[in-house]
Amino acid sequence: MLLRFAPSPTGLLHVGNARVALANFLLAGGQPANLVLRFDDTDQERSRQEYVDGILRDLHWLGICWQEEVFQSQRIDLYQAAAERLMMAGRLYPCYESAEDLEYMRRRLRARGLPPIYDRSALKLTEADRIILETQGRKPHWRFKLAEGTIAWTDMVRGDCRYDAAHLADPVLIREDGTFLYMLPSAVDDADLGITHVIRGEDHVTNTAVQIQLFEALGATPPEFAHLPLLVDADGKGLSKRLGSLSLADLREQGLEPMAVNALLARLGTSEPIEPFEDIDHLVRDFDMTRFGRSAPRFDPADLERLNQKIIHALSWELAQARLRALGCDHADEAFWEAVRGNLTVMADVMEWYGVVYGAFNPEAPAEEDRDFLAQALAALPAEPWDARTWKAWTDTLKADTGRKGKALFLPLRRALTGRDHGPEMSAMLPLIGRKKAAERLV
């Protein structure tokens, strides 16, 4: 089994691309030897090294690995040789219509209630006609002549797929300037590299019908195909206009865990519950291509946030401590981590509570009605040592002395000690803050 992920380095990798990359890696059994990374970089004007670097960084962040890496820009001779074979076989023919000519042709066909399919008028041109056109400055683009009949394959997601070639337009494979469009290089590479399975978005389904004939015309066996439904947002709308905020770089910048992204993308479109996985190896073992349905999955950032919270909340001290040190939380210990982890959405949120416990801050002035209460709280502050029982003992004393209870009792204390209305359990936080800082904050 050999699969490939084939991004175009013309922009940032987004969640739709990442889902395809992940599905390929998981179907490859998580084995780098079973995956090729192919950069479709024939668009020299838009392809940039910075995007290549970004794609590599994003894939490594997700834990996706590969063994072979190829660039289409370095394989032009291979595509040219394939094009010449198709020309010799009469399957690739020159056309001279301008963009305006083609649009006029499509309008006429639609007016007659016919599908806007190229009418192959270029095949009627004689050699003399072509010479005249070229002396007038016309340069040909080249179309692949589809053979008559039904194009059929069994898709790993969509099931049986059938297309009547008569309902498809002969696709342009080579532009007027001699550069290749997506269709030919993709098929040539898949055949040359020995790709056995192709997983991509359902927007490529019609391309697959054409490429199956391309494989056959080149004497190659078509791979198996799987076309995943395209992601939509939480409201059921396409993600195309929202990709900037859903790039992998942006998600990483937000502090999201790669396994939260992996777990969500691997399960979207299936009937399986979306739960966090310990690592990508567990995800590989659980992956089943047949679980994907035909309906468009909804990508909701709120689901990603919930998964991320679950991963952070379950993170053991053994795994957390190195990450805390990397964030500069040098004084954090296991008691601190156990106290605060349940209040984190992303790992960087820990900095807020690290500042509360180990930093120095001046809380806002208390409400007028709480001033006397905080003075009483300071006077009743227990002697150290403190432990998890200290908070209850202290507040029980204050409740008896002041008659306060519920929010009126607890909220002024939390605000004074942490500067916040909500947060970790104060029974765990109070011993971490310590008596000296607590006394300073109650003044």
Domain boundaries defined on the chain: 1-72+229-314, 76-228, 317-358, 368-442
Per-residue pLDDT at 242: 46
Query: How many Cβ atoms from other residues are within 10 Å of residue 302's Cβ?
Result: 8
Quick: pLDDT tens for 360-377: 777 778 888 999 999 999
Instruction: Choose among 435, 432, 439: nearest CA to 384.
Output: 435
Per-residue pLDDT at 239: 75
Q: Answer for the pair 424, 417: CB distance below 8 angstroms, yes or no.
A: no
Query: How many Cβ atoms from other residues are within 10 Å of residue 44's Cβ?
Result: 9
- The DSSP line for 30-95 is T-GGGEEEEE----TTT--HHHHHHHHHHHHHHT---SEEEEGGG-HHHHHHHHHHHHHTT-EEEE
Each residue's pLDDT expressed in tens, for the chain with a length of 443 residues: 999 999 999 999 999 999 999 999 999 999 999 999 999 999 888 999 999 999 999 999 999 999 999 999 999 999 999 999 999 999 999 999 988 888 888 899 888 888 888 999 999 999 999 999 999 999 999 999 999 999 999 999 999 999 999 999 999 999 999 999 999 999 999 999 999 999 999 999 999 999 999 999 999 999 999 999 999 988 888 775 444 558 999 999 999 999 999 999 999 999 888 899 889 999 999 899 989 999 999 999 999 999 999 999 999 999 999 999 999 999 999 999 999 999 999 999 999 999 999 987 777 788 889 999 999 999 999 999 999 999 999 999 999 999 999 999 999 999 999 999 999 999 999 999 999 999 999 98
Q: Give me the amino acid identity at 239.
A: L
Are 1-72+229-314 and 76-228 the same fold in CATH? yes
CA distances, 191 to each of 3, 171, 174, 206, 383 (Å): 12, 19, 19, 19, 77
Give CA–CA dist 3/224, Å, rounded: 10
Per-residue pLDDT at 235: 83
- Does the domain at 76-228 match CATH 3.40.50.620? Answer given as yes
Per-residue pLDDT at 241: 46
Give CA–CA dist 286/278, Å, rounded: 12
434 Rama class: left (phi>0) / alpha (psi -120 to 50) / beta: left
Name the token pair of 12: 């940032």
Q: Answer for the pair 249, 17: CB distance below 8 angstroms, yes or no.
A: no
Instruction: Choose among 339, 414, 345: nearest CA to 374.
Output: 414
Q: Structurally, what CATH architecture does the domain formed by 368-442 represent?
A: Orthogonal Bundle (1.10)
Q: Answer for the pair 421, 366: CB distance below 8 angstroms, yes or no.
A: no
Quick: pLDDT tens for 243-295: 455 899 999 999 999 999 999 999 999 988 889 988 999 999 989 998 999 99
Give CA–CA dist 274/364, Å, rounded: 42
Q: Answer for the pair 344, 350: CB distance below 8 angstroms, yes or no.
A: yes
Q: Answer for the pair 389, 354: CB distance below 8 angstroms, yes or no.
A: no
Q: Answer for the pair 211, 186: CB distance below 8 angstroms, yes or no.
A: yes
Residue 265 β-bridge partners:
none
Per-residue pLDDT at 110: 87
Beta-carbon contacts of 48 under 8 Å, excluding residues fewer than 6 positions away, are 9, 10
Quick: pLDDT tens for 21-77: 999 999 999 999 999 999 999 988 899 999 999 999 999 999 999 999 999 999 999
Name the token pair of 64: 């996706």
Give CA–CA dist 179/176, Å, rounded: 7
Q: Give me the amino acid identity at 62.
A: L
- The fourth-level CATH superfamily of domain 1-72+229-314 is HUPs (3.40.50.620)
Q: Which helix (H) or strand (E) holds 40?
A: none
